[in-house]
């Protein structure tokens, strides 16, 4: 699987996802997003898909995980995701629910997607807008968190169909050579937040 992404075995390790037999299914309830202004003040709520169709600015988060060697944990989004399916991205991302703190939501989503927990540290916020597939638009004010983890990973296959650890330099090379393999937001983090993320993972 790593070879198919143009990255040598000595630069990254990959783990295929197992069966979904014991994985809980997601709730069928409608997910509401917090609409915000550019100062991250809540101005309303909107259903998730509707917000991505309208391009309304909403609150979000992303989690980047490193191991003790400084490698980044990537997941490949399940092909069944409502956008960006089959693309490689950071460890977890999502949206806080109404009356949920962003930090609590980041920890919740990391466990829902990859089935592990670890301490998370807030790094910065990123505001971006970008078109997606299926006629959707991502317009988010994102809180970026980082954490360090060593241990088993058992992703929900509805969320990710593969994971891998990768050296930062190998990630930059592969992303430059094959940008279509990665989500738009992850490319933005790597391009614009590299110094801040480097400091975040420093011992």
Catalytic machinery residues: 93, 140
Greatest alpha-carbon pair distance for the chain in Å reads 48
Tokens 């279509």, located at residue: 180
Q: Which two tokens stand for residue 122?
A: 């807030």
Tell me 17's DSSP state.
-
CA dihedral 99, 101, 106, 112 (to 10 degrees): -30
For residue 147, report the phi and psi dihedrals to the nearest 5 degrees.
-160, 165
- Give the separation between CA 40 and CA 130, rounded to whole angstroms: 18
Give the C-alpha separation, 107 to 56, whole Å.
24
Task: Encode burial over 59-91: b for 16+ CB neighbours within 10 A, e otherwise.
Answer: bbbbbbbbeeeebbbbbbbbeeeebbeebbbbb
């Amino acid at each position: 699987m790593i070879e198919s992404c143009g990255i040598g075995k000595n630069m990254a390790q990959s783990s295929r996802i197992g069966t979904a037999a014991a994985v809980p299914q997601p709730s069928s309830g409608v997910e509401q997003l917090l609409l915000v202004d550019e100062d991250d003040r809540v101005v309303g709520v909107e259903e998730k898909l509707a917000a991505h169709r309208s391009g309304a600015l909403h609150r979000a988060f992303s989690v980047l995980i490193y191991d003790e060697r400084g490698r980044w944990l990537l997941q490949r989004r399940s092909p069944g995701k409502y956008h960006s399916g089959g693309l490689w991205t950071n460890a977890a991302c999502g949206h806080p629910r109404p009356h949920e703190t962003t930090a609590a939501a980041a920890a919740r989503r990391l466990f829902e997607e990859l089935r592990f927990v670890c301490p998370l540290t807030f790094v910065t916020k990123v505001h971006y807008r970008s078109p997606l597939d299926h006629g959707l638009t991502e317009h988010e004010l994102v809180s970026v968190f980082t954490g360090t983890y060593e241990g088993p990973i058992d992703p929900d296959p509805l969320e990710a169909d593969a994971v891998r650890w990768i050296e930062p330099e190998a990630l930059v090379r592969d992303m430059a050579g094959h940008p279509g393999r990665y989500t738009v937001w992850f490319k933005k983090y790597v391009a614009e937040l590299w110094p801040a993320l480097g400091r975040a993972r420093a011992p």
